[in-house]
Chains A and B, each alone.
Chain A
Amino acid sequence: MNGLVDSLLVVILLLNLFTLGTSRIRAVIQVVALQGILLGAMPLMIHDPCHLQTLLMAVGTAGLKGWVIPNMLSRAMRDLSIQREVEPLISLTKSLLLGAIGTALALAFARHLPLVEGHAAGLLVPASLSTVLTGLLILTTRIKAITQVLGYLIFENGVFIFGLMLIEALPFFVEIGVLLDLLVGVFVMGIIINHINREFSSVSTERLSSLKE
C-alpha cells in the first residue's frame, strides 16, 4: 500500500514542478484539479477504506478540490475572459529552478525531522513541505489574482498532505470545516476577482498598487 501512496506523491511532486513551468492558467487549474483527486484517493490507501468517515472524507476532498473549486475557477476564466497566460514576475525557468531547489531542500530537511516509525520511509513529509513551498512561490511570483488563488490552493494541498498522517487526530467534523472554509474562501475570492475585473478591466494585481507607503 505504502508503495502506491509514494508513487502518487511522486506524481504530485512532478505536478508541482509542472505548475511552476507552465505559462497557461488553464493548465494550472487542471493540475490543481488532478492534485485534488489524487489527494482524495489517498485517505483510502492509508486508512481502512471501508470506514464511513474515511470514505466520506475521500469523496468530499476529491469532490471539492478536484471538481467544485476548479470548475468555479474555470468559469471565472471564461466569464471574465481572462487572458490565458500566467504573467509571472520572474521567468518560468527561474521559478522552475526555485521549485526544484525547494523540493530538494524539503527532501533533505524531512530526513532530519524525527518521524514515527511507519512514516519515516514515506514521502509524506517532503511532499507536503515541497507542495507548501510551491504554493508560496506561485502566490508571490504571479501577478494575476486568479493565479494567486491557485497558489493558495496548492499551499492548502500541501497542508492537507501533512494532515493525512493525522486522520485519527482530526475528527471528521474538523476536516469538513477545513474543506468548507476553503470553499467559501475561494468563493469570496472569486467574487472579489469579479469586482477587480469590473473596476480595473483586468484581473492583474499589478493595478492594485494605489495603497502604498
Chain B
Amino acid sequence: MALAILLLPLILAGVALLVPSNRARPWLLPVAGVGHLSLVGAALGRLPLGSPTGWLVLDPLGGLVLALISVLFFLCSLYAVGYLRHREDRSNRVFCACLLVFLAMMSLVTWAHHWGLMWVAMEATTLASAPLIYFNRTARSLEATWKYLLICSVGIALALLGSFFLAYSSLHEGLPSSLLMEDLLRNAPKLSTPWLRAAFVLLLVGYGTKMGLAPMHSWKPDAYGESPGVAGALFSGGMTSCALLMVLRIYHVCHAAGEADVARQMMVFMGLVSMAVAAAFLIRQRDLKRMLAYSSVEHMGILVLGVGIGGPALYGALLHMVNNGLAKGVLFLSAGNIHRAYGGKSLDEVSGALRRLPLSGALFLAGFLAITGSPPFGPFLSEFTIARAALGGGQFLAGGLFLALLFAVFVGMGATVLAATQGRPSEEALATSYRDGWLTGGPTLVMMAMVLMLGVHLPVFLRTLLLDAVRFLEARP
C-alpha cells in the first residue's frame, strides 16, 4: 500500500517529463490526484498499517496528515489544469513533474517512522518544491527560490543534527542506538535526558524552519509571494502540515519519556512569538500573497501553541491543522485568480475584486472570515477549543495573549482584504480578459464548502481519526 501511494505520483512525474504537449500534460495532475485519493481512502480504512521492519507505518496521526494532503492535492490539481491553461506561454513540464514528486515526498513523510527516512523525505520536499517557486522566471521569484532553498536546507540540516542527538540519547544509556519510532517510544523513559532535550530543541528549530515559525520564517513571505497560487496552497496546507507532523513526532518521544512539560513550554513560547511577529507584519500589509504568508506564520504559531497548551488543545490543534490547510487553500487559489485578473497582487493594483471577479472575490472574503476565526467556519471551532483549553487549564497568560493576537490579526488582515474586495476596480483591471472559470473557481468553492462544513458538523470519520490521533500521541508505553 505504501509503495503504491509513493510510486503512483513518481511514475506519473516520469510520464509528465515525457509528454510533449503542453496542453495535455496538466491533466496528469488530476489523474494522480484521483488515484492518490482512492489509495489513501483505502489505506485509512485499515489503520494502523505497517511494514514488518517498522520503517513505513501509517499511524492515525500520519493518516490524518496524509488525508489532508491528498484532498488538498486533488482539488489543487483541478485548479492547476485551469491555471496552466492561462499560462500557455511557458512550458509547464518541470512544474507538473515537480508537483507530482512533491506529492510523493509529502506522502513519504507521513508514512516514515524512521528519523533518517523522515529527514531524507523532508529534504526531498524542499528540493522538489523549489522549482515551483521559480515558475514565473522573474528576478523576484529567483530571489525567493534562493532564500527558500538555502534557509530551509540549513533548517533541515539542523534537524539532521537533532536526529543524531536523538540516536545518541539511546546510545548513551547503553541501549541499542536506533532511530525507529517504535524503538524510541519503547525505550523513551530510559533515554538520556540532556541529549533528548537538545534533540528536541534542534528538531523544533530545524523542522520549525520548514513550518515557518518565527524567527525562522523569513523565507515564507518571499516564497509564497512569488510562487503561483496553487504552489502556495500546497505549501501552506500540505508541506507545513508535514513539518508539524515531524514536530509532533519528537513531542511524542518527549511525552513518552516524561519530558513533555519542558517541550510544551518551549512550544507555547514559539507559538506566541510566531503569532506576534505575524500580527506585526500583517498590519498595513499591501501585498495580498505576502499577507497570506504572514497569516500562515500566525497559524503555524497557533498549531504549536495548541500542542504546547496540551489537554483538549491538542485535539483543537490537530483539527486546526485540517481547517487551516483547507482555508489557506481557498485563500491562495482565489488570490491566484485575483492576481491573474488584475496583473498584480498589491493594493496598488487590486481593488473592487467583488465586482471584477464575483466568485473569487467572494471566496477570498469568505476565506478571510474563516481563517481569522469567525463563526460558523471550521477555524472558529478549533481556535475556540484551544482558547478554552488554555483558559480552562489555568494558562491565563498564554490564553489571553492568544486571544489578543487573534484580534490584532483580524484587524490587520481585515483592512487589507476589505480594501482589495470593496470599491471599484480600475479601468485596466476591467480590460483584462481573465474571467472565473469552472476549473479555477470550482475547486476553490468545494474547499470553502468543506471549511464551512467543518464548522457546522464534523463528519464522524474525521472525528474518529482526530480522536485516534490524540490517543496515539498521549498513550504511554
Contact = CB atoms under 8 A, between A and B. Distances in A.
Contacts of A165: 164, 168, 171
Contacts of B168: 116, 162, 165-166
B264 interface: no
B143 interface: yes
Contacts of A184: 127
A166 B167 CA distance: 7
B130 interface: yes
Interface string B110-124: 000010110110011
Would you list the 3 A-B pairs with minimal beta carbon distance, nearest first?
Answer: A174-B116, A169-B177, A177-B120
A165 to B, nearest CB: 7
A168 B139 contact: no
A164 to B, nearest CB: 10
Given A166-B177, A178-B116, A189 B172 contact: no
B164 A192 contact: no
Chain B contact residues, majority secondary structure: helix
Task: Specify the main secondary structure of chain A where it touches its partner.
Answer: helix
A170 B167 contact: yes
B221 A213 contact: yes
A171 interface: yes
A136 B192 CA distance: 27
B194 interface: yes
A200 B233 CA distance: 29
A137 B357 CA distance: 49
B6 to A, nearest CB: 14
B27 interface: no
Given A152-B150, A196-B142, A210-B140, A162 B127 contact: no
Given A156-B157, A174-B116, A181-B120, A116 B226 contact: no
A200 B146 CA distance: 13
A116 B177 CA distance: 12
A213 B281 contact: yes
A159 B116 contact: no
Interface residues of A, number: 42
Contact of B157 (A113, A152, A192): A152
Contacts of B124: 181
13 contacts: A152-B157, A159-B164, A165-B164, A166-B168, A169-B178, A177-B119, A180-B120, A181-B120, A185-B153, A188-B131, A189-B149, A195-B134, A196-B146
B434 interface: no
B237 interface: no
A167 to B, nearest CB: 9
Contacts of B145: 192
Contacts of A163: 164
Contacts of B139: 199-200, 210
Contacts of A145: 146
B194 A114 contact: yes
Interface of B: 114, 116-117, 119-120, 123-124, 126-127, 130-131, 134, 139-140, 142-147, 149-150, 153-154, 157, 160-161, 164-165, 167-168, 170-172, 176-179, 192, 194-195, 198, 221-222, 225-226, 281
B160 A178 contact: yes
B261 to A, nearest CB: 21
Contacts of B140: 210-211
A20 interface: no
B161 A132 contact: yes
Contact of A211 (B114, B176, B225): B225
Contact of B146 (A166, A208, A210): A208
A177 B154 contact: no
Contact of B119 (A148, A178, A211): A178
Contact of B149 (A115, A132, A192): A192
A145 B146 CA distance: 9
A41 interface: no
Q: Which of A152, A169, A171, A192 has the most CB of B within 10 A?
A: A169
A183 B172 CA distance: 31
A136 B158 CA distance: 11
B108 to A, nearest CB: 11
B227 to A, nearest CB: 12
Interface centre among A168, A171, A184, A211 (most CB of B within 10 A): A211
A139 interface: yes
A119 B221 CA distance: 43
A136 B155 CA distance: 11
A208 B138 CA distance: 12
Contacts of A159: 157, 160-161, 164
Contacts of B164: 159, 162-163, 165-166
Given A163-B164, A169-B167, A208-B146, A188 B127 contact: yes
Contact of B172 (A116, A132, A171, A180): A116
Contact of A148 (B150, B161, B172): B150
A71 interface: no
A171 B177 contact: no
A205 interface: yes
Contacts of A155: 154, 157
Given A139-B154, A185-B123, A168 B172 contact: no
Given A148-B150, A165-B168, A188-B149, A174 B143 contact: no
A166 B171 contact: yes
Given A165-B171, A181-B123, A174 B114 contact: yes
Contacts of A170: 116, 167, 179
Contact of A162 (B161, B170, B221): B161
Contacts of A213: 221, 281
A139 B192 CA distance: 32
A170 B176 CA distance: 11
Nearest to A184: B127
A208 B147 contact: yes
B120 A210 contact: no
B172 to A, nearest CB: 6
Contacts of B172: 114-116
